Structure formats: structure tokens, C-alpha cells
Amino acid sequence: EAGVTQFPSHSVIEKGQTVTLRCDPISGHDNLYWYRRVMGKEIKFLLHFVKESKQDESGMPNNRFLAERTGGTYSTLKVQPAELEDSGVYFCASSQDGVVAETLETQYFGPGTRLLVL
């Protein structure tokens, strides 16, 4: 079974440009999460999708960030316009939503996208 995949693995852009990150969750996982780790800081929650609906977007830092999950499959996270403080590693995770307790809500992470804004 394929794990969570993220694209691109690295992105270097200039301040003011737009960047779109993509996450493909594990097949069959209804829950999809975005997290990020900025330099020297802890990994922080950004938002949570259940299928195509935003369940919790309390961690989104500001309106320059837009996340979508069309059709409840892959998700994109767009940063427009990017600022220097947006640099960091963006992680995506997915989890099942079912009745099997041992697998319920364990989040499996992708390799992350390393974003550098110059």
C-alpha cells in the first residue's frame, strides 16, 4: 500500500510569489491533515479535512493560505503571496475514520515539502 505522498519535495521561491503544495493521502483515508514546522519551532497543526470538508482550520496562520480537497482525494495548500516567515517544512498526514479501534485516528505522515522563501 502506498503511503502519503507530497509534491514537490522542495520549493524555493521569492517573496511575493505563489506556491502550491500537493498531498495525496493513503487510499481510503477520509481524514487529511496539514502541519508545518518553521525553523526552530515545533510542528504545528494547520487544518483538517474530512473527505472534502474542512473540519478544523484553526491553525491556518492567515488568509494568504488556502487549502482545498476537491472530491475528497488529494489536497492542495496554496500560499499567495508567500512571505519570508512561511519558510519551513509542510507535512501532510492522513488517517482512517472507521470502527477498527487499533487503526482509528493514527495519522501517517508524508515526507514533507521543504519551502524556502527568499
Q: Which of 12, 43, 66, 84 binds other proteins (CB under 8 A)?
A: 43
Shortest distance, position 81 Cβ to other proteins, whole Å: 26
Half-sphere exposure of 63 (CA within 13 A, CB side): 0
Residue 107 as a binder of other proteins (CB under 8 A): the answer is yes
> 51, 64, 78, 114: which one contacts other proteins (CB under 8 A)?
114
Q: Rounded distance, CA 45 to CA 92, Å?
A: 10
Q: Which of 44, 51, 64, 78 binds other proteins (CB under 8 A)?
A: 44
36-39 long-range contacts (CB < 8 A, ≥24 apart) are 36/88, 36/89, 36/90, 36/91, 37/88, 37/89, 37/91, 38/85, 38/86, 38/87, 38/88, 39/87, 39/88
Name the one range near other proteins by CB under 8 A: 16-24, 40-48, 65-73, 76-84. 40-48
Using CB under 8 A as the criterion, which residues of the chain lie in contact with other proteins when the complex forms?
Answer: 31, 33, 35, 42-45, 48, 55-56, 59, 89, 91, 93, 95, 105-112, 114
